[in-house]
Structure 1
Amino acid sequence: MVSNEATTGTEPVDGRDAVSRKAEKATWRMTRGERARYQLGYAGYSIGFNIVAYFMTMFLMFQSVNLAVVGSLIFIVKAIDAVDDLLFGYFIDRVNPARLRFLRKIAGSGKYLPWYRVTFSLLPLSTVIFFAMPGGVSVGVKIAWFAVAYLLYDLAATLSQVPMQAMVVTLTDKVTERDSILKFRGLWAVAVAVLSGLVWQSLVSEFVGWSVAGVAIGSAVVVLIMLVPLARKVTEYNVELKSASPETTPAYTVREMFKAVRLNKPMLIILASDMVSGATLTMVTTNVFAAFYLFDNSLILQVPVLFAFVPALILQFFADRIAHAIGKRNAIVGFGLLGSICGITLFFVGHGNLYLVIFLMAIQGVPVSVNLVLRSFLVPDTVEYARYKTGQDCTAIFFAMDSFSTKLVGGVAPAVAMFILGLGGWVTVKADSFADLAAHGVAQPAGALTALWITVSLIPAVGALVCSVVLMFYRLRDEDAALMARCNSGDITREECEAQLSRAY
Structure 2
Amino acid sequence: MGKKQFTTTKGERVSYGMYAFGAILSYYVIMSFLQLFMTNLGIPAAMVGMIFVFAKVWDAINDPVFGVMVDKVNLKGGKYRPWLRIAGLTIPLTTILLFIIPSGASIQVKVIWSAVAYILWDTAYTMYDVPMNAIVTAMTENQEERNKLYSLNSFCVYLGGILVAVLVPMLYPAIGWPLTILILGGLCLLTMMMLPGKAKERYGGNAEKEVSIREIFMSLVHNKYLLIFTLVSIVSALTDFSNTLLAYVAIHCLGSESYITLLTLASALPVLAVALLIPKMISRVEKFKLNIVTRVIAMVLTAIMYFVGYDNVILLLVLFAGKSLFSGICAVTAIMFVADCVEYGQFCNGERNQGIAFATKAFTNKIVVALTGALGMFGVAAVGFVEGEGVVQGVSTIKGLWALFGIAPLVGGILALVIMLMSYRLRDQDVALMIRCNNGEISREEAYAAFQNKF
Q: Give the Cα separation in 2 of the matches to 1:391 and 1:173.
A: 17
Q: Give the Cα separation in 2 of the matches to 1:305 and 1:51.
A: 12
1:63 CA displacement = 0.8
Give CA-to-partner distance per residue, 1:434-454, whole Å, 9 cap, x none: xxx3xxxx2111222112112
- Say if 1:306 and 1:120 are closer, same or farther in 2 by CA, change over 3 A: closer
Q: Give the Cα separation in 1 of the matches to 2:11 and 2:92.
A: 24
Give CA-to-partner distance per residue, 1:184-221, whole Å, 9 cap, x none: 221221222123212222323xxx53323432332122
Correspondence for 2:212: 253
**Sequence identity (%):** 28
Correspondence for 2:316: 357
Q: Give SS of 1:331's match.
A: helix
Aligned residue among 368, 378, 390 for 2:337:
378
Q: Which shifted more, 356-365 or 27-36?
A: 356-365
1:167 CA displacement = 0.6
Correspondence for 2:177: 212
Aligned residue among 109, 127, 130 for 1:141:
109
Correspondence for 1:239: 204
Aligned residue among 223, 232, 238 for 2:188:
223
- Equivalent AA in structure 1 for residue 236 of structure 2: S
Correspondence for 1:453: 402
- Say if 1:238 and 1:499 are closer, same or farther in 2 by CA, change over 3 A: farther
The structure that has the greater radius of gyration is 1
Q: Give the Cα separation in 2 of the matches to 1:420 and 1:56.
A: 16
- Does structure 2 conserve the Cα–Cα contact (< 8 Å) formed by 1:282 and 1:459? yes
- Equivalent AA in structure 1 for residue 197 of structure 2: R
Q: Give SS of 1:121's match.
A: helix
Q: Give the Cα separation in 1 of the matches to 2:231 and 2:357.
A: 13
1:233 CA displacement = 2.6
Correspondence for 1:77: 55
Correspondence for 1:103: none
Correspondence for 2:72: 94
Q: Which shifted more, 218-227 or 287-296?
A: 287-296
- Equivalent AA in structure 1 for residue 424 of structure 2: Y
Q: Give SS of 2:296's match.
A: helix
1:492 CA displacement = 4.3
Give CA-to-partner distance per residue, 1:194-253, whole Å, 9 cap, x none: 23212222323xxx53323432332122111111000113211112477xxxxxx96422
TM-score by length of 1: 0.84
1:335 CA displacement = 0.9
Q: How does 1:417-456 map to 2 (within 5 A)?
A: 417-429=376-388, 431=389, 437=390, 442-456=391-405
Q: Give the Cα separation in 1 of the matches to 2:184 and 2:70.
A: 28
Q: Give the Cα separation in 1 of the matches to 2:365 and 2:170.
A: 26
Q: Give SS of 1:128's match.
A: helix
RMSD (Å), alpha carbons: 2.3
Q: Give the Cα separation in 2 of the matches to 1:86 and 1:449.
A: 40
- Equivalent AA in structure 1 for residue 384 of structure 2: G
- Equivalent AA in structure 2 for residue 406 of structure 1: N
Correspondence for 1:11: none
Aligned residue among 42, 49, 54 for 1:64:
42
1:495 CA displacement = 5.0
- Say if 1:141 and 1:309 are closer, same or farther in 2 by CA, change over 3 A: closer
Correspondence for 2:371: 412
Question: 5+ unaligned residues in a row in structure 2: which ranges?
Answer: none
Q: Give the Cα separation in 2 of the matches to 1:335 and 1:86.
A: 31
Q: Give the Cα separation in 2 of the matches to 1:259 and 1:424.
A: 42
- Does structure 2 conserve the Cα–Cα contact (< 8 Å) formed by 1:47 and 1:196? yes
1:481 CA displacement = 1.5
Aligned residue among 92, 98, 112 for 1:124:
92
Tell me if 1:481 matches 2:431.
yes
Correspondence for 1:27: 5
1:86 CA displacement = 0.8
Q: Give the Cα separation in 2 of the matches to 1:376 and 1:306.
A: 23
Q: Give the Cα separation in 1 of the matches to 2:191 and 2:436.
A: 33
Give CA-to-partner distance per residue, 1:322-368, whole Å, 9 cap, x none: 22333212211211111111111222222233233223222212212
Q: Give SS of 1:97's match.
A: coil
- Say if 1:304 and 1:411 are closer, same or farther in 2 by CA, change over 3 A: closer
Give CA-to-partner distance per residue, 1:260-310, whole Å, 9 cap, x none: 101111111221122223333322132222122222222235435545766
- Does structure 1 conserve the Cα–Cα contact (< 8 Å) formed by 2:31 and 2:243? yes
- Does structure 2 conserve the Cα–Cα contact (< 8 Å) formed by 1:190 and 1:369? no
- Does structure 2 conserve the Cα–Cα contact (< 8 Å) formed by 1:281 and 1:409? no
- Equivalent AA in structure 2 for residue 80 of structure 1: W
- Say if 1:148 and 1:313 are closer, same or farther in 2 by CA, change over 3 A: closer
Q: Give the Cα separation in 1 of the matches to 2:197 and 2:82.
A: 10
- Equivalent AA in structure 2 for residue 255 of structure 1: R
- Does structure 1 conserve the Cα–Cα contact (< 8 Å) formed by 2:236 and 2:414? no
Give CA-to-partner distance per residue, 1:378-403, whole Å, 9 cap, x none: 11111121122222231111111111
Q: Which shifted more, 87-96 or 409-418?
A: 409-418
1:499 CA displacement = 4.4
- Equivalent AA in structure 2 for residue 221 of structure 1: G
Q: Which has the higher helix share?
A: 2
Aligned residue among 394, 398, 419 for 2:357:
398
Tell me if 1:265 matches 2:215.
no
